[in-house]
Structure 1
Amino acid sequence: MEKGKVLLSLLIVNIIGILVLVHMNSHTYYIQAPETIKALPPNNKFKIPEASFLITPIKDSKHFMVSAFIDHRLDGVIRVISIINRNSLQPLYCVYCSAEQVCRTVHTEVQIHSDHFSFPYGASDVICKGKHIQNATHVIITTDKKDSADLKIEYLPIKNKAVQETFKFNFTVCISNLFGDYNNVLQFAQTMEMYKLLGVQHVVIYKTGCGPDLEKLLKHYETEGILEIVPWPIDHFLNPASGWNIKHHKGDIQYYGQLVTLNECIYRHMYQSKYVLLNDIDEIIMPYKHTSLPSLMEDLQSAHPSIGVFLIENHIFPKTQFEESGKFKRGEWNNIPGVNIMEHIYREPSRKNIYNPTKMIVNPRKVEQTSVHSSLKNFGGSFHVPFNVCRIVHVRVPLQGHLTKEQLFVDKRVWDFEQELIQIVDQTLKLSGFLKASI
C-alpha cells in the first residue's frame, strides 16, 4: 500500500514537471499544454470588449489582457499586451480563433518586463505560438483550457495582421498617462501647436481623467483630427500609484500603468507611423540644429541606418523663473489656466555625475519592449542624440530649486517659433471657446 502511494506521488510530480516550467530569474515562464481544436457552433459571434474599454480581466486570475497583435518579426506569433500580477503566477492558456470560428488552445510564454519598479503588477507580454496562427482573428488568455471557444469570454481582436511598407503618419506622439485633475490648458495648447510646427501629424493620449477645462480642449483637438484619446480606466481595476518609487508612491502598479500604455502605443502604431515619440504631456522633443523633426530624423537615420531607438536628453526649464522683459506675458492668456512656456527661457545646468534622463524617438518596428527612458528589447540598438542637436524642453517645477536665475542658462529656442506659435495658439483658444473671437 505504501509503495503504491509513493509511485502515485512520483507520477504526480512528473506530470507537474512536464506541465509547468517556471523561469523566474528571466521574468519568463512557460506553460506547456497540448493543442486542442474546437469549432464554435455556426452563426455564433465572438464577444468582443467594447472599444472604449481597453482593460479586460482574465477570468479566475489577478491578471488583465489589454490588446493583441501579430508580431511578424518573431515568426508571426500573437503578442497579447497584458498586466500580470507577479505574485500570483499561474498556468495561462491561449485560445485563438479564425474567422471561420475554429479555435485552438495552446501553451503561452509569459514575459514580465524587467522594469516593474517592484510594484506587484507589471507590464507583460503573453506570447501565443501554434499552428495556423496567421489565420487567427481573435484571441483570449484563460486560466482553464476548458474555456476554449466559450463565447461568454471576451475575445480581443488581433491587430497588425499585415505588414505595411507605407504609413499613415510620419510622426506620432504617445502621451502615456493623463490622470487626476490635470488642467494645464495653456501649456498643452502651446505644446500641441509646437508639435504641429515641428511636423507631428498624430498625438495619442491614454486618459484616465483630467480637469474640466482641459477636457474641453481635448475635445477640440479630437474634432480637429490630430488627437486620439484612448480611454485608460486603470483605476477601475487596480489602485494605481501616482509615481514610480514604491517607497513614496503606494499602489499596485507604477504611474497609472505607464509602461503598459507606452508598449501598447508602440504596437498600435507599428504600421501606422514611421516614427513614434515617447514623452510626457509637458515635454517637447525640440530639434536645435534642424527646423523640424523630419529633417532631424532624416539626418540621424542617414548617419545611423540600423538604429531604431534615439535617446533625447531631458532638460528642465523651471516654471518659477520668468523672462524679465514680460514680452510674452499676454493679457489675452491671463485667464487661461496653465503655464505659459514662452515666459520660461531659463534652463537648469546639467549636474556632474548625475545622468540626465532621456525620452525617445523610435522606429516602432525595431522595438520589442520599452521602458520610460530607454527600450528594454530592440532589434537595432540605440543612439544617444547629442545635446546640441536635440533636447527636451521641459517646463515644470525645478529640480535644482536652490539655483538663482544667474546660475541658469538662457535658452530661447521656443522663441524661434514665436510669431506662428502665438497666432495658432490664439486661434485654437478661440475655436475651443477659451477666447472670444474677433468681431
Structure 2
Amino acid sequence: MESKNKFTVLLLLSCMATIFSTLVLKHKDTLTITTHLKKNTIKIQEDSHLITPIKDSEHFMVSAFIDHRLDGAIRVISIIKRNNLQPLYCVYCTPEHVCETVETEVQIHADHFGFPFHVSDVICKGKNMQSASHVLITTHPTKNSYNLKIDYLLIKNNVVTDNFKYNFTVCISNLFGSYNNILQFAQTMEMYKLLGIQHVVIYKTSSGPDLKKLLKHYESEGLLEIVSWPIDKFLNASSGWNFQEHKGDLHYYGQLVTLNECIYRHMYQSRYVLLNDIDEIIMPYKYSNLQSLMEDLQSADPSKGVFIIENHVFPKTQFEDSGKFKRKEWKNIAGINIMEHIYREPERKNVYNPAKMIVNPRKVEQTSVHSSLMIFGESYHVPFNVCRIVHVREPLQGSLTKEELFIDKRVWDFEKDLIPNVDRTLKLSGLLKDSS
C-alpha cells in the first residue's frame, strides 16, 4: 500500500512538471479538451494580417468574433475549400492561457458562384466562450504542438454596446490590380463626407502609384482605414464573379469574404454599414444626407435591418453639353470626372438590377454582394425617388443615344463644397500643383 502511494505522488509530480496537461471529456457527442499553456507560447495574429492557413488543410482562417446573437458562440470567418472539408476543431483560450477544444460547425455560404474556395463561418460552441481572448481552428483535436507555431486569432466583439464610434461606415470590398482612377476616387470620398459618412474601409491587395498618395492622405486625415488583403499570395483569386467565365480559386479577389468580415468588424463600431463598390455613391434624393434618410426609414419600421438601394448607371461615354465642369485644374488628373456625367440609363425591364445595401450590422448574419443571405429582421427595398446609386462607369446600354437617357443632376447640388474639397485633397496629396 505504501509503495502504491509513493507511485501516485511521483506520478502527480511528473504531471505538474510538464508544460501543460490535457483532460479529454466526452459530453453529448462533443469533444472537449482543456489545456493549460505556458504564458507567451501563443503567437497572436496581427490585426493587419487577415489570412492565416489552417495547418494540414487547404483552408484559411480570417478573423474571429463573439456572436452574442448565438448565445456567445465564436464565429471564425474563414475561406474553405468546398470539396475537401474535413472535421475541424476550435481551440479557444482565456487571457490566462487556459484553453478548450470543441468540434465546429462549418457553414459554407450559399453564393459560391461555382468557385472551389468560398467564404464560410466556422462556428464554435462551448462553455465560457465569452471569456476567451484568442482562438484557432485546427484539424488535430488532441495534438499538442500548436502552441508554438500556429497563429491564433484575436477574438473581437467581446462586449455588446450601442455606443457607436461611427454612424456610417462604407465597406469597399476590394482594391486590386493597378487601379488608378484618381479623380473619381477623390470626388467619391469627398461626396461621402458631405453625405455624413465618417469612416471608409478598403481591403487592399494592390493599387496604382498615384492612388497610393491619395490613400495615404485619407488615412492621415482619419477618414480611411486600409486593411491589408494579400489574397493573391495564397490563392489564384479571380478577377470576376463567374467561375465558368473568369476561372480562379476564389470569387472576385475574395469580395464576399471581405464584405462579411467588414460587417462583423463594425458590429459594435458603426450604427450602419454601406456595402458598395469604389465607383458607386449611395445617394439620398429625398433627403440632404444619409442621417436624415435613415432616421426616416428606421422610424417607419425598427425591425428592418437591410435597406436595398437600386443601382443606376451614368455612362462615362456621355458628357453634359455646357462643359462647365471640364476644369483645367483637373486636366492632368487621371480618372473620371463624375460632374460631367449627368445622363442616366433607363431601367431595363426583365433584367436583374444588381442593387447594393445599407445594413444594420447587428441584424446581418451572412451577406452576399447584392442581398443578405441570413438576417435577423426584415429587408426593405428603398424607393427609387428616395435613394439610389449614382454609378458612373462603362455603359450597360451603349446603343442608347443621349436623347434616350434621363438627365440627373443630383451631384451638382453639392458643387459649392465638393469642388473646393476635391481641389484641397488633390493638393495635399501632391497630385495637384497650387496655381498660386
Q: TM-score, normalised by structure 2?
A: 0.92
Aligned residues: 408
Aligned to 1:299, the other structure's residue is in SS state helix
Check the 8 A contact 1:310/1:360 in 2, yes or no.
yes
**Structure 1 residue 306 displacement after superposition:** 0.4
In 1, Cα distance between the equivalents of 2:326 and 2:200? 28
In 1, Cα distance between the equivalents of 2:130 and 2:156? 11
Partner residue of 1:394 out of 388, 391, 394: 391
In 2, Cα distance between the equivalents of 1:356 and 1:424? 32
Query: For each residue in 1:102-127, what CA deviation from the matched residue of structure 2 results, as whole angstroms up to 9, or x when unmatched?
Result: 01110100000001101000110000
**Structure 1 residue 438 displacement after superposition:** 4.9
Aligned to 1:247, the other structure's residue is in SS state helix
In 1, Cα distance between the equivalents of 2:375 and 2:250? 24
In 1, Cα distance between the equivalents of 2:218 and 2:337? 19
Moved over 6 A (4+): none
In structure 1, the residue matched to 2:333 is 336
In 1, Cα distance between the equivalents of 2:385 and 2:289? 15
Which letter maps to 2:205?
Answer: T
In structure 1, the residue matched to 2:37 is 40
Deviates more, 1:282-291 or 1:129-138: 129-138
Is 1:322 matched with 2:319?
yes
In structure 1, the residue matched to 2:217 is 220
Aligned to 2:179, the other structure's residue is in SS state coil
Structure 2 matches for 1:3-152, cutoff 5 A? 33-41=30-38, 43-148=39-144, 150-152=147-149
Query: For each residue in 1:362-414, what CA deviation from the matched residue of structure 2 results, as whole angstroms up to 9, or x when unmatched?
Result: 00000000000000000011000000000000000000011111110000000
Is 1:301 matched with 2:298?
yes
In structure 1, the residue matched to 2:356 is 359
Partner residue of 1:313 out of 310, 315, 327: 310
**Structure 1 residue 151 displacement after superposition:** 2.7
**Structure 1 residue 49 displacement after superposition:** 2.3
Which letter maps to 2:44?
Answer: I
In 2, Cα distance between the equivalents of 1:408 and 1:269? 38
Check the 8 A contact 1:317/1:398 in 2, yes or no.
yes
Which letter maps to 2:395?
Answer: P
Partner residue of 1:433 out of 414, 430, 433: 430
Aligned to 1:116, the other structure's residue is in SS state coil
Partner residue of 1:418 out of 415, 418, 421: 415
CA RMSD of aligned residues (A): 1.1
In structure 2, the residue matched to 1:27 is none
In structure 1, the residue matched to 2:176 is 179
Which letter maps to 1:216?
Answer: K
In structure 1, the residue matched to 2:402 is 405
Which letter maps to 1:74?
Answer: L
In structure 1, the residue matched to 2:205 is 208
**Structure 1 residue 319 displacement after superposition:** 0.3
Check the 8 A contact 1:32/1:108 in 2, yes or no.
no
Query: For each residue in 1:203-238, what CA deviation from the matched residue of structure 2 results, as whole angstroms up to 9, or x when unmatched?
Result: 000000010011110000001100000000000000
In 1, Cα distance between the equivalents of 2:148 and 2:364? 34
Query: For each residue in 1:115-144, what CA deviation from the matched residue of structure 2 results, as whole angstroms up to 9, or x when unmatched?
Result: 110100011000001111111100000001
In 2, Cα distance between the equivalents of 1:369 and 1:281? 21
